[in-house]
Amino acid sequence: MLHPMNDTGDWETICKQCGLCCFEKIEEEDGTIFHTAIPCRYLDVVSRECRIYERRFEINPECIKLTEKLVRELRWLHDKCGYRQALGLTQIRKKRVKTRF
């Protein structure tokens, strides 16, 4: 399990830069979460790198700063997320999938 990080730089090194948290997500009223194929406009989908990383919170107010508290609360982060793994939160969760006909 993760020991408290000394600074933001240490915390950010845990990120595996998969870019999945940079894609739009839709949450239904019943809690079902749909992951879309729509990336943030600043995400380079080939390299999975943010083109404005150093200034992302300043330039894009919709960018979410993943703190330890948020990582523990957010249901849409996948189990292979570096932050979830570092916090020991990788147990298999039931996925709610909705099929529409």
Q: Where are the domains of the chain?
A: 8-86
* pLDDT for the residue 96: 52
b/e code 19-44 from CB counts within 10 Å (16+ = b):
bbbbeeeeeeeeeeeeeeeeebebbe
* pLDDT for the residue 90: 81
From first to last of its 101 residues, what are the pLDDT tens digits of the chain? 444 555 667 998 999 989 999 999 999 999 899 999 999 999 999 999 999 999 999 999 999 999 999 999 998 998 899 999 999 998 655 555 454 43
* pLDDT for the residue 94: 52
